[in-house]
Structure 1
Amino acid sequence: MRQWLNKTFYYKSKFYQLANMNTKHLAEGSTNPPLSKGKLRLYSMRFCPYAQRAHLVLDAKKIPYDIVNINLVQKPKWYFERNPVGKVPAIELESGDTVYESLIIADYLDEIYPQSPLHNKNPIQKAKDRILIENFSKVTGAIFGYYRDMSEEKLENLLKELDVFDKELTKRGKTFFGGDKPGMVDYMIWPWFERLDALKKISDNKFVIPESRIKKLAHWMKSMKSDEAVKVSYIDPESHGKFVKSFLDGSPNYDILVK
């Protein structure tokens, strides 16, 4: 019954949720909006890949939630009462309890909301998936390295790390790391792949991934873009590129999408 009510509430609030996602990022001197009854509160930053992990799990499991975007340069003092480390994402429950760190949030939500389970039920496969997610830090490091130095050497470093995931996906023999539909691995690594298209924009098209080198992964990326949960939080490459440029210039513009 609870699952049915959650799904119904989610669909009714979906258009509100999409609009709420692109709201202004709250900074010093702001006040925290009151919690919405029957919803989780997600503290986010619209362009943060770690925060997008939480969005993806919430949307994949159709959990009702509202969003408060946080300015990470001028963080509100009240936010440290919710998350003492001041990072995003964090979720706040109606009880007032908070959970933070993207992977911990993902595990918590998958356990508390059993609908559409994302983790593999087989303990060994679940452990292997966790290892794969941990090892993805090598890919994120290579991506950030390329942002700073768009050289052939840095590009090759990134491609070598992507090769590992292409081979793993080929070995699994399915469209997604989770099988026939996205699972926890897919959603935990997707945010960085979404941002790869932005590299083409900010590198004047110097950044090119040869699809023949990572055929399985290239097909996976196209398939992920069609996923309903991905569509909710997806940002176009041009907007990602504008944010990255502002970030690299030292003045991140969090509110690019605010109308």
Structure 2
Amino acid sequence: MAKHLAKDSVEPQLVPGKLRFYSMRYCPYAQRVQLVLNAKKIPHDPVFINLSDKPEWYLNIFPAGKVPALIYDGKFLSESLHLADFLDEQYPEPPLWKNGPLQKILDKIFIESFGKVTSAFYKLMMTTPELEKSNFNELVESLKPVEDELAQRDSKYFGGSSPQMIDYMIWPWFERFDSIEPVSKGLFIFPLDKFPKLEKWKNAMVAEEAVAAYHLPPDKHAQHFIYRKSGLPAAFNF
């Protein structure tokens, strides 16, 4: 596991011929961009940032201090969905938006609506014990429209017969659902069996090359959440 650079670190030199990619290994938004980089086999140089103790050099070039971010042609670029779109246009093979302009905007609307799922997930993972049950129920409810969407599309992936941008943009949270059980010490187990379409999709996605190359097991994600919730610096390097 690469080390996350903190406040007193020195900025690594750029690697010629590779995109500089600022990331955080456990960040689902950064993983979105990583999956696009993997799917397109774009040479890149990942630099992991400790978001609880951000390097001074990183804040100097990006005061917001967020990830993911890229340096391209001397320009500093950020925001996961913008970066994904940029990479798809700049590196057109294989195309990840390939079902036409109408479907592209419908997929983007769906990705935006998926924010209800991400919000419910983080409310569950970072909440107080008194609110866990209601937050867990909220997460389960938020996924019903996602299951319905996949059923309506009647395809293996949301993007069709192969993973497309829409699949990569929502995958990182599904990878983390299996960490709910260890984080809650067995109190909550995500009922994937209630979502048969999503269960088949999830099994297909985890075996897909771009996903498998960056996949982490549930215990790693769980440990990160436990440390983050406790405010421990070990959350980034363990």
Identify the TM-score tier after normalising by the shorter chain. Answer: over 0.9
The equivalent residue for 2:217 is 236
Give yes or no for the alignment of 1:100 onto 2:78.
yes
Q: Give structure 2 stretches of 5+ with no counterpart.
A: none
Contact 1:57 1:106 in 2 (8 A): yes
What is aligned with 2:47?
68
CA contact (8 A) 1:54 1:105 kept: yes
For normalisation by structure 2, the TM-score amounts to 0.94
User: Match for residue 237 of structure 2?
Assistant: 255
How much has 1:188 moved relative to structure 2? 0.7
In structure 2, what is the equivalent of residue 196 of structure 1? 177
| TM-score (normalised: structure 1) | 0.87
Contact 1:83–1:100 under 8 Å retained in 2: no
Question: Which secondary structure does the structure 2 equivalent of 1:233 belong to?
Answer: coil
- Residues 83 and 90 in structure 1, CA contact (< 8 A), matched pair in contact too: no
Match of 1:126 in 2: 104
Displacement of 1:121 in angstroms is 3.9
How do 1:82-231 residues align onto structure 2 when only pairs under 5 Å count? 82-93=61-72, 95-147=73-125, 148-149=127-128, 151-231=132-212
8 Å CA contact 1:26, 1:70 repeated in 2:
yes
Shift of 1:149: 4.6
Query: Counterpart amino acid of 2:165?
Result: M
**What's the CA shift for 1:152?**
3.2
Query: Structure 1 residues 27-36 or 130-139, which shifts more?
Result: 27-36
Spell out, residue by residue over 1:137-181, the C-alpha distance to the aligned partner (whole angstroms, 9 max, x if none).
100111112111563322221111111110000100111111111
Contact 2:177 2:190 in 1 (8 A): no
Aligned length: 234
Measure, in 1, the Cα distance between the counterparts of 2:124 and 2:108: 25
Question: Unaligned 5+ residue runs, structure 1?
Answer: 1-21
Q: 3-state SS of the aligned residue for 2:194?
A: coil
SS in 2 for 1:46: coil
CA RMSD in angstroms comes to: 1.3
Residues 189-243 of structure 1 deviation map (CA, whole Å, 9 limit, x = unaligned): 1111101101111112222233342110111111111011111111111111111
Cα distance between partner residues in 1 of 2:154 and 2:136: 27
**Quick one: which amino acid aligns to residue 112 of structure 2?**
E
Identity %: 44
Partner of 1:52: 31
